[in-house]
Amino acid sequence: MALAVIGCAGCPKRQSTVRLAYVPAPPAPSPAGQGRVWVIQQPAPPQPAVSHPAPKPVRKVEVKPPVTHPHVVHKTEPEAAPADTEPAPQLEPLGSEQQQNRMRYRIQGLQRGIERRIDSLIQRRLSDVDRKAVSDARVFLSQSREAMEAGDLTESLNLAEKADLLVSAVEKRT
């Protein structure tokens, strides 16, 4: 009730026709004819979190091997191999030998350029975030070299490009 009185009196400079007041829920609905004071009930207190019951312990069930009888003979026939067992097709390298050599050359050039840029960045004062990015770029560069040694040129190029993007981002911030 005190809040309703304070709400009605209010500041003299801020008089308006409609007032809002937070009060506990009234026992009976207020008459609709007043129109100048709106009663907004306080929200209900939050419900306590529902705790899930503890899971029931799992019973161990012992599985017994099937019983075999000595007087019953089971006939087992060897499985017949499928008639058309062709060996799986071999994967072919990406493009011709010349295309692979061009891709290797491109990747190696990218790797060398990234290594030079990393070396120049290390000499600068870098923030922790930039040092982490340079460290990640080194990891990608190392993985790129490993992928190239394994013959996976596509993966090697992807990893080198990731390292390049990280180094470029650090260069833009410094």
- List the structure tokens of 77: 């026939």
- What's the pLDDT score for residue 3? 47
Q: In sequence order, what are the beta bridge partners of 38?
A: 20
Least confident window among 42-46, 108-112, 164-168: 42-46
Measured CA angle at 114 (ends 113, 119), to 5 deg:
100
On average, the pLDDT of the chain sits at 74
> What's the pTM value of the predicted model, to 2 decimals?
0.47
**Three-state secondary-structure class, residue 41:** strand
Top CATH class, 97-173: mainly alpha
pLDDT surpasses 60 at 130: yes
- What's the pLDDT score for residue 79? 58
DSSP single-letter state for residue 38: E
pLDDT by residue (tens digit) across 73-90? 555 555 555 555 666 555
Give the separation between CA 2 and CA 25, rounded to whole angstroms: 14
pLDDT surpasses 60 at 9: no
pLDDT by residue (tens digit) across 44-72? 565 665 565 666 666 666 666 666 655 55
- What's the pLDDT score for residue 96? 83
Domain residue spans of the chain: 2-41, 97-173
- What's the pLDDT score for residue 174? 82
Mean pLDDT along residues 22-43: 56
Mean pLDDT along residues 91-109: 83
Consecutive H or E run containing 20: strand 19-23
Give the separation between CA 28 and CA 24, rounded to whole angstroms: 12
Give the separation between CA 141 and CA 112, rounded to whole angstroms: 10
